[in-house]
Amino acid sequence: MRAVVLADEGGRVQSLLDVDTGVEFLLQAEGTWREQEASLNARFEDGWCAGIEECLPSVGKCGPETDGGAVPDHGDFWQTPWVVEDGQGGVRLTALGFSRPLRFTKTMALRGRAFLVDYVVENVGSETTSFLYACHPLLAVEEGDVVVMPAEVTRLAVHSSLGARLGGEVSWPEHEGMDLGLVLGRDAGVAEMLYTPRLTAGWCGVYRAKAGQGIVLRFDPEMLPYVGMWLCYGGWPVPGAEPVQYAVALEPTVAACGTLAEAERLGVARVLAAGGTGGWWIEFEVSQAGMGLEEFRGFCDGTRS
């Protein structure tokens, strides 16, 4: 396995590549980087929109009425350069937010076929502050690939669905004759944001059908109890107008909310006192090639090594 991390580009993980099979598991950026000053008005679609990025202290944009003030689209840290430091057993990156006094640190290491990330967020301000966090890994897909979730996931809440293709809640994976777990083609014009119920099994994955291998995200569901599921098959940012996004994002998150404002309103935002810290971890593990779908499910849930 090879991992590429770009500290100057929001600290994003640009590549997770199986060097033996040549399969790239992360969506690659199109075009060139449009350097811009970090701003409350920055649009995520004007950034890279590729690889693994971090959404903190919100996913969606929040207005000034939000407790603590406004938050930019997809948070502060995708548009903030990170400082590289030596970390025990890995590489450590640190950045300071600008909409909230949050210092965000992640320590990354490759262990065999797994890429491990340990996260720490610290309130360096003098007052209590709240936040919403979601990991934002845009995963490369092809038509016929399969999104794999724990057996306990039988229904998903619909946060958004382009053209109201879905209602307010859907069954998973089969819904009204559709297999929502099956990746559609690039021209399908689909863009949907869904959320799992609270999980007891901390994993989710994507099976790459042609390669017969996949990637599984593992996490502690006590720390990250939900997964946001972004299914985008040419439906964003403007359907039919290239470049369109073609990816799946499986987003371990602290709450099934799109914005910090919503999380605060529902009383599910994470809160840090002045000087307080919080932490969690996520592991991205790539399977061996040559697996069938059911073998990959077993690999994900730990019933097959």
Report pLDDT digits (tens) over 92-140: 999 999 999 999 999 999 999 999 999 999 999 999 999 999 999 999 9
Q: Does the pTM exceed 0.85?
A: yes
What was the pLDDT predicted at 212? 98
Average pLDDT in the 160-175 region?
88
92 within 8 A of 30, measured Cβ to Cβ = no
Residue 38 banded pLDDT, cuts 50, 70, 90: confident
Other Cβ atoms less than 10 A from the Cβ of 22: the count is 8
pLDDT score of 305 more than 60: no
pLDDT score of 167 more than 80: no
CATH level 3 topology of 2-301: Beta-galactosidase; Chain A, domain 5 (2.70.98)
Single-letter amino acid code for the residue at 149: M
Distances (CA, A) of 282 to 106, 202, 288: 10, 10, 20
* Cα–Cα nearest to 5, from 56, 55, 54: 54
pLDDT score of 76 more than 80: yes
What was the pLDDT predicted at 184? 98
Pairing mode, if any, of strands 52-55 and 134-139?
A: antiparallel
Give the percent of the chain with pLDDT over 70: 97
For the chain, the domains span 2-301
What was the pLDDT predicted at 197? 98
